[in-house]
Amino acid sequence: MEEEVWKQIENCSGYEVSDLGRVRSYRYLKGTAKEPRIRNQPMTNKGHFYVILKQDGARKKFFTHRLVARAFVPNPENKPEVNHIDGDKTNNKPENLEWCDRSYNIRHAYHTGLRPDAKLTPEAVEDIRSRAIRGHGGNLKQLAVEYNISTKHIYRVINRENWK
């Protein structure tokens, strides 16, 4: 069994994150002695673990998956979001995390069934846009009726305000 690996959390002195998705802090006791303490990680209503840490003297909320990714998952393309590859938001091990952009993260959520209640699929968005560009899709109202969404939503999809 491999030993848990801990790394300093960037820009948060006194805190570390592990490759198992745990976060710990050090309390300073009488002089220089340190005592590590595993931090409690509540869960958001969307299923992500988070931790409250002090940064520059202020308390701040950090998502555990982002802390693990920053410490253990390379991001050479400087992508802004972290995706859970297996779709399990509680599995914050580095091998289950990948850096991605918003578009990929949303598509992944649809394909893994994490967003089954979504009105549109990536394929539907592509169809709406191609029909609007070609002028073969009729007017916005017809597309809205066909896809059971509002004309405002159709307009936003076509103009990339939604589904960028």
> CA-CA-CA-CA torsion for 58, 62, 67, 69, nearest 10 degrees?
-140
C-alpha distances out from residue 158 to 16, 69, 140, Å: 44, 33, 10
How many angstroms separate the CA atoms of 143 and 129, rounded?
10
User: Is the Cβ–Cβ distance between 63 and 48 less than 8 Å?
Assistant: yes
Question: What pLDDT was estimated at residue 58?
Answer: 92
What pLDDT, in 10s, does the model give residues 82-120? 999 999 999 999 999 999 999 899 888 877 767 655 678
Question: What pLDDT was estimated at residue 52?
Answer: 96
Q: How many CA atoms lie within 13 A of 21 on its CB side?
A: 19
How many angstroms separate the CA atoms of 23 and 95, rounded?
17
User: Is the Cβ–Cβ distance between 22 and 29 less than 8 Å?
Assistant: no
Whole-number percent of the chain with pLDDT over 70: 88
Question: What pLDDT was estimated at residue 80?
Answer: 97
Q: Which domains does the chain have, with CATH numbers?
A: 6-111 (3.90.75.20), 122-158 (no CATH)
